[in-house]
Amino acid sequence: MPTPSLPSFSPEPQPGVQPSTFPDPTLVVAVACAALCAGAPAWAQTQDLGAVVVTATRTAQPAFDIPASIDALDADALSASQLQVNLSESLARVPGIVAQNRQNYAQDLQISSRGFGARSTFGVRGLRLFVDGIPATMPDGQGQTSHIDLTSADRIEVLRGPFSTLYGNSSGGVVNIFTQDGGPDTVAELSAAFGSDHAHRVGVQLSGQQGAAQYLISANRFQTDGYREHSAAERSTFNGKFSLATSEDSRWTLVLNSVDMPEAQDPLGLTRTDWQADPRQVASVATLYNTRKSVNQSQAGLILNQRLGRDDRLQWTSYYGERETVQYQAIPPTSQQAASSPGGVIDLSRNYWGQDLRWTHSATLLERPLEFTAGLSDDILNEHRLGFQSFTGPAANPDALGVEGSLRRNELNRVNSFDQYLQASWAFASDWNALLGLRHSKVGFVSSDRYLSNGNDSGSTTYEASTPVAGLLYKLSNDLHLYASFGRGFETPTLNELAYRPGGGGLNFGLAPATSRQWELGTKARWDGWAGPWSANIAYYEARTNHEIAVLTNSGGRSTYQNVGRTLRQGLDASLTGPLGHELWWYAALATLNARYRDSFLTCTAAPCTTPSVDVAAGKRIPGIPDLTFYTELQWRPQASGFETAVEFRQVGKVAVDDRNTDAAPAYGVVNLRVSWTQKTGGWTLREFARLDNVGDRHYAGSVIVNEGNSRFFEPAPGRTWLLGLNAGYTF
């Protein structure tokens, strides 16, 4: 049985955290070391375990030999009897990554990497997303996941820690999704899944190869009534990947994808009282204003991989996309009366494009292998932002709510990111590898105001930084590697974070970029246990950030932001996997994180608020970040039977809801069960599966809305839910 391609492991001292919510780090390290040392005698006899090859550091290398925290999830881990609609389904397996399904398709997933990105109230920020090498993150650092097709994904690579800065602005982590290549056989597949809350997905896929050409085409339609009232959504996606080898040295790849989400209802958050009374209910203002969002996006990318000789390779990537978004917010008409108010309806039209040119050279230095990479990337985002009143008639006595009214905002915004990067990997001794990198980023924001009745809010600003990174790996043996890495990070505000000043008006150009210094110590080990090969990864890290960007006000779906000084993140990531015998496999991933403000600052506790006046003391926990996450899975897969079953357990620590830590979403643990059966007959491959999540029907808050001005912090997670599915594929 092949080893499941699953994630990594890590320790640390955690000042100021209650013992009841945070395990003793000394105990964690002791247990991890005991596990490693128990296998030490077998390390010398370990055979090649077929290390997973990853490309997250831009060159294909075994993950075991890279001085960084990196994990790969294969197609089996991505399906795992899941709905295959949300990245959160599988990323829970990766330590250090918190991916929360908010049960709100109007606001996308909540994904953070080692605490970076947890403040996001919309979309994904703090980490960069790529699909087949094409950015799913805009040049301002804002990412989207709605167009990602998991049914056609071959693997996901997740990079965390200092080396994430090699990808530039907003790099607390990097998530790379790779679509399957077509061929060599021609395969047609139909898939369907349906479950609780009238959720269902239907998909078709065709893949194959004709000579030097490979292709894969996938289309899916998803609908749900939603767990909560006023949370229904529907979404149609398309993904196509076409590759052509024009010679032994040249390969072209075309990637096309689109998403159409005509309407996703937004139930907003709930107060603690309302959540505990009925987690399925909706905030009354959500139905009053019919809060909702629609999205339509299409994009195309072209990649050329060219070998220039024995030692040189060139990769050129170019892409173009368009995205239309309309969102209706819960802003009272009286709050929209001020001349500076942008209204309660957002209408965004975006087009974006960019290219990346990368040259890689293989050589020797002092008779030791050296690989050198140099590149340039240029990314542009154009945005036409319109704002309308969300009512008709007089504000004091409106005729209708939740409709498009008078124009209140009209501006053209542009973001241009131009980066240059260098990277070198050098095995300077038989047991030592060094990885060095340097990136220079320059990100410019320009806004041209076309709604001048309330004054001219045009303006511009430029953020610029150089971010070095260095890593060193020592091979204590073929199967035990130690490493250390260090890097500087750079994170600009996104357009959505700049979009509103505390007092209204145009872009908030007063926001400064956040800069961070990160270091990491880790070990990677593999050994032969009595039942087969085991592996473990452990990493301890620290990140110190200056000018941290935090939520200042958040009400009705609209947020403003401010810089709050210094923060500290200290944590441990760890994973352990291997066979227990009797065709049982075990996997466990643990992450602990102590994330706190190092400086005191002033904030707002209600909206509107033009001047912060409420004190936040130094030492408070950064909201939106759990102090602990734990995932474990016990899988039974009898050989040659086509049968598989597994029990999963997920534990998430408590999460502060605001900067003052006045409340928190309690810690929770849930148990999930899954079972599947695969049959092959003739050209047919059939797979049926069933899944039961939250077996104990635990009621908990799956995510929080940070600093919500009306104390509607909590986004409830579903109770016990079920899912049934069928995949039918025919090989011609």
pLDDT over 80 at 171, yes or no = no
| Phi, psi for residue 76 in degrees, rounded to 5 | -65, -40
Q: What percent of the chain has pLDDT over 70?
A: 92
* Average pLDDT value for residue range 183-197: 96
pLDDT, tens digit, 9 for 90 and up, residues 611-668 = 899 999 999 999 999 999 999 999 999 988 899 999 999 999 999 999 999 999 999 9
The structural domains of the chain, with segments of one domain joined by +, span: 25-731
The per-residue pLDDT for 120 is: 79
Above 90 in pLDDT, residue 689? yes
CATH superfamily of 25-731: TonB-dependent receptor, beta-barrel domain (2.40.170.20)
Closest CA relative to residue 256, chosen from 216, 295, 287:
216
d(CA 187, CA 599): 58
Mean pLDDT confidence for 109-134: 88
Return the pLDDT at 51. Answer: 54
What's the rounded Cα separation, in Å, for the pair 437 and 468?
6
> Tell me: the pLDDT tens digits for 368-397?
999 999 999 999 999 999 999 999 999 989
Q: With a cut of 80, say whether residue 53 has pLDDT above it.
A: no
Give Cα separations from 144 to 16, 42, 297, 492 (angstroms): 35, 45, 10, 17
Which residue has 């703090």 as its token pair?
126
Q: What burial letters (b/e) apply to 292-321, b meaning 16+ CB within 10 Å?
A: bbebebbbbbbbebbeeeeeebebebebbb
- What pLDDT was estimated at residue 24? 38
Confidence of residue 21 (pLDDT cuts 50, 70, 90): very low
Cβ 90 vs Cβ 156: under 8 Å: yes
pLDDT of residue 611: 87
In total, the chain counts a number of residues equal to 732
Question: What pLDDT does 673 receive?
Answer: 98
Per-residue model confidence as pLDDT tens digits over 271-294: 999 999 999 999 999 999 999 999
- Stretch 397-413: mean pLDDT: 95
CA angle 181, 222, 121 (to 5 degrees): 95
Mean per-residue pLDDT of the chain: 90
d(C-alpha 235, C-alpha 192), whole Å: 15
Residue 52's pLDDT is 75
pLDDT at 125 over 90: no
**pTM of the model as a whole:** 0.89
- Residue 4's pLDDT band, with cuts at 50, 70 and 90, is very low
Residue 168 has a pLDDT of: 87
Q: Which of 51-55, 65-69, 407-411 is predicted least confidently?
A: 51-55
Average pLDDT over residues 308-316: 95
Residues 330-376 have pLDDT tens digits of 999 998 988 888 999 999 999 999 999 999 999 999 999 999 999 99
What is the rounded distance in angstroms from the CA atom of residue 501 to the CA atom of residue 455? 14
> Which pLDDT score is estimated for 178?
95
Strands (E), 547-696: 549-555, 558-563, 567-581, 584-597, 601-603, 614-616, 628-636, 643-652, 655-656, 664-665, 668-681, 684-693
Q: Average pLDDT in the 492-520 region?
A: 89
